């Protein structure tokens, strides 16, 4: 199955761990599209940097619009107000880096240069 990688930026009032973000994304997909939609999405949080609040989410290519809608619907993570923004989408992690999104961790962040 072909995959898509989404570069995400999280705006949240409180410190955030990758597991909490992953749960919030899964819950958003479940809420909007049910268990069938969630099982078709093939979601996996590849990386998340809690300091920069930038991460990479993987999903199946045919569920990309569904996943983008679910991510945009997130207004709370845990008990804190939050918003999750999709910065870039790519078919490979390497191309995500070439598009200026970089990677999480020791390499450049996803922040776009203005």
**Residue 113 forms part of a structural domain:** no
**Residue 111 forms part of a structural domain:** no
Name the β-bridge partners of 85: 9
**Residue 50 forms part of a structural domain:** yes
Tell me how many domains the chain contains. 1
Strands ordered across the beta sheet of 76-77? 44-49, 54-60, 3-12, 80-90, 76-77
CATH of the domain at 8: 3.30.70.3250
Extract the tokens encoding 80: 């804190």
**Residue 54 forms part of a structural domain:** yes
Neighbours of 31 (CB within 10 A): 13
CA distance 114 to 6: 20
Segments forming the whole domain that contains residue 13: 3-91
pLDDT in tens, 16-74: 999 999 999 999 999 999 999 999 999 999 999 989 999 999 999 999 999 999 999 99
Least confident of 3-12, 17-26, 48-57, 99-108: 99-108
DSSP type of residue 82:
E
């Amino acid at each position: 199955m072909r995959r898509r990688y989404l570069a995400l930026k999280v705006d949240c009032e409180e410190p955030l761990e990758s597991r909490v973000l992953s749960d919030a994304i899964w819950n958003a997909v479940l809420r909007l599209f049910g268990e069938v939609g969630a099982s078709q999405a093939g979601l996996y949080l590849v990386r998340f940097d809690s300091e920069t609040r930038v991460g990479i989410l993987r999903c199946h290519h045919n569920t990309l619009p569904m996943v983008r809608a679910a991510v945009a619907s997130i207004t709370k993570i845990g008990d804190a107000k939050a918003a999750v923004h999709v910065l870039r989408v790519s078919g490979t992690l390497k191309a995500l880096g070439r598009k200026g999104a970089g990677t999480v961790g020791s390499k450049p962040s996803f922040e776009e240069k203005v």
